[in-house]
Structure 1
């Protein structure tokens, strides 16, 4: 792609495009002249998007339903042309430790975060393999770079997205399809606001007191990384430094995390959110 000019007239599909990072990507892509389509749950967020952006092609779809994603994608391609760029932003998070979460929590986060990504990729891929100059960008997470206390279900689902992107990059490059994985830290979105009260204190301590990034800044970084064909996008210098540290000195990261967790448990031994809690292994 040739920078922002390359978006003009390009059919771009955004999953989870009615809220958070996805909604901001929709806004910026429209400003760059792209033809934008959105797959998202048929809820109030999607209704607001329909009302505020009538030029956006919208389908209310649960991304965990492979058949529905495929059918909706075919409809959108028939209406606006083959999808040439995909952004997979649909995701959920429910923090908690292994023994505190139900098996349904693990399944739900893997179904939405990983399989929801996979279903969208598989839906657009046939058209991309024939067109060339296509892009796939998937939202993983900083929690997809290293294990984080309290993200027992969320972290593995984002590791899975990371692994998928690494394989896709190798498989699709010979076909002219560029694959990018984005690793945002905490972002000021409705999802973060919803999960914060559920976070155990150890997770809050690891996240620190750093102000979450804005969805606007993260979306801008993701678009720039996609435009330049980068395989990885780290929206801020801290996450980029973390990725390097995890790769070069994992022992140092482990020790730092262990110290933080131990400090929290000494100071707040009676906190009811502290893991482990009552076993919930159903």
Structure 2
């Protein structure tokens, strides 16, 4: 009996190890975007621009969407230089506030498809983060994040999804954040919009699967982008200290993983070990691509709950330490 239990345990551990090796090192077959139309919102900088550059290197025709025309023109030139075939590929930009009005978004994307061709891949990278405790977050800041992070993504998907369903092909990416897996001090408004994106992604994944349209939810960690630099300005001390427990990732690394996961048909796109842990721990009722992925998540969820608890305890300790320091400073004044 003891031998049987030992053999079973060894086999169990071996299966987990093999599944993890496959998860991190196996290169799946990717769909091609060559000569196809890829649209990237938030494409003038950061992760969005990096995704557009990668898609251009793979032979796609690119449209980037943002509001600032000068930044769009500069990004367009960078993307043109990255094109696999500069004589054939087209790169355009569209100045548009995607979160302001659905009718404007629908018309703009419909007109865009008439000139650039059907949208095969929509990558929603537009987003913003304004930090602050709930009592310190203004209604205007909340409204801004809802319109850019949630409504802007929702509007763009709604505007293109009917034509993707009709053609029975397409790829949709929603760029959320690791903050869609757990609430963090100082991110009450931001996390609310990012949690919403997960619900949106899971819902449309179920709606679109019969039409051969894949959905990927990208969950990047803190990424070294212009948007992150702005976010740092509004972070409470507690939020900054919690963020510093993880490293800062380059946007091209996030973009490359996002692009490959989307073309491989993966639902989650994460970067690094922490991203893998969070996606496994919080997989819940999310879509899965293979039995191997499902088994790995099922085997790891219980153990990772303990790992996650240690993270939560460390975050709570950071918050308490900051509170004690403030109280001590007040008493000494």
Give TM-score scaled by structure 1 length: 0.90
The match for 2:40 is 14
Q: In 2, distance between residues paired with 1:5 and 1:112?
A: 29
Q: In 1, distance between residues paired with 2:259 and 2:111?
A: 25
Q: In 2, distance between residues paired with 1:271 and 1:36?
A: 54
Q: Secondary structure at the match of 1:173?
A: helix
Out of 246, 261, 276, the position equivalent to 2:319 is 261
Q: In 1, distance between residues paired with 2:269 and 2:329?
A: 36
Out of 72, 86, 92, the position equivalent to 1:57 is 92
The match for 1:24 is 50
Cα-Cα RMSD: 2.1
After TM superposition, give the deviation of residue 52 of structure 1 in Å.
4.0
Following superposition of structure 1 onto structure 2, how do residues 71-220 of structure 1 map, counting pairs within 5 Å? Answer: 71-220=107-256
Change (3 A) 1:44 1:238: same
Change (3 A) 1:269 1:225: farther
CA displacement 1:140-164 (0-9 Å, x = unmatched) = 0011110011012111101111110
Q: In 2, distance between residues paired with 1:95 and 1:216?
A: 24
Consecutive unaligned residues in structure 2, runs of 5 or more: 1-27, 81-89, 284-300
The match for 2:83 is none
Change (3 A) 1:33 1:269: farther
Q: In 1, distance between residues paired with 2:237 and 2:38?
A: 39
Q: Is the 8 A contact 2:31 2:264 kept in 1?
A: no
Q: In 2, distance between residues paired with 1:225 and 1:114?
A: 22
| Pairs aligned (count) | 271
Consecutive unaligned residues in structure 1, runs of 5 or more: 273-282
Is 2:267 aligned against 1:241? Answer: no
Q: Which has the higher helix share?
A: 2
State the structure with bigger RCO (CA 8 A, min sep 6), 1 or 2. 1
Q: Is the 8 A contact 1:182 1:234 kept in 2?
A: yes
Q: Is the 8 A contact 2:52 2:79 kept in 1?
A: no
After TM superposition, give the deviation of residue 269 of structure 1 in Å.
4.5
Give TM-score scaled by structure 2 length: 0.76
Out of 197, 221, 227, the position equivalent to 2:263 is 227
